Amino acid sequence: MATKNKTVIVTGAAKGIGKGIAIALAKDGFNIVVADMKQDECDAAAKELQALGVESVGIVCDVSSAAAVEGLFKQTVAKFGKLDALVNNAGVYPFVPFDKMTEADWDKVMTVNLKSVFLCSHEAAKVLPPGGRIVSVSSVASLIGFEGLTHYCASKGGINAFTRALALELAPRKITVNAVAPGAINTPGASGGGDEQTKQTVALIPLARMGEPADIANAVAFLVSDKSDYITGQVIVVDGGWTLR
């Protein structure tokens, strides 16, 4: 089935990995709903996507709020008449040592990273047609541990388990559910460690480079496409071989 006139919601799409995903899917012909926290950033991303020849709209949405998520999907269907795919990308990763971690720290990460995937997927499942796609952005932190990120690792591990279980439930409707687990990716949020931290990270990666948003976007674009029609319940690791060591 051609992607022309298909519509996808990408959460956290105003910048970073989410924006890279939105650009890749726009190039594949999808109309894009940019869901993020700031209207001006949503609008700027949507305008950039429109320049690629597709329809795009920016919608402010706190994906940890059930009411906001319901509104996002209602606005999407009202604008485009349907939804063909959902990409759960929004997430946060504040470093907090475990002995200093508060209940509020834990709850924020679990709510934004994991509860949002439930909320968005729950709404998507109501409207996706046969052949629909749900793709969530997990992390290599779902597979290996990182100090200072116990809450983040737990949330991303939850995404993997959720993906496998939901894939079983939606398979009878011919809707596939998969996840992509990025490694170290060059994004504005990941650049805080400086050049030395980047060098140390690259030294651990067999392909000897940081990943780019496009690397994740290409994997997501494949899972959203018809080429992945027989793949469901899987977590595809895109990390340059980092987790092989």
What long-range pairs does 49-57 form, CB within 8 A, spacing at least 24? 49/22, 49/23, 52/23, 52/26, 52/27, 53/26, 54/26, 54/29, 54/30, 55/31, 55/80, 56/22, 56/26, 56/31, 56/32, 57/32, 57/33
Helix (H, G, I), strand (E, B) or coil at 29: coil
Taking alpha carbons only, the member of 161, 39, 136 closest to residue 85 is 136
Is residue 93 part of the annotated active site? The answer reads: no
Active-site residue, selected from the candidate residues 30, 93, 152, 242: 152
Which of left, alpha, beta for 16 (phi over 0: left; psi -120 to 50: alpha)?
left
| Residues pairing with 8 in the sheet | 32, 85
* Nearest-angstrom CA–CA distance, 36 and 150: 25
Cβ count near 96 (within 10 Å): 16
Q: Which helix (H) or strand (E) holds 18?
A: helix 16-27
Which residues, 6+ apart, have CB-to-CB distance to 16 below 8 Å? 185, 187, 188, 189, 213
Structure tokens at 120: 């968005």
Active-site residues, by number, are 152
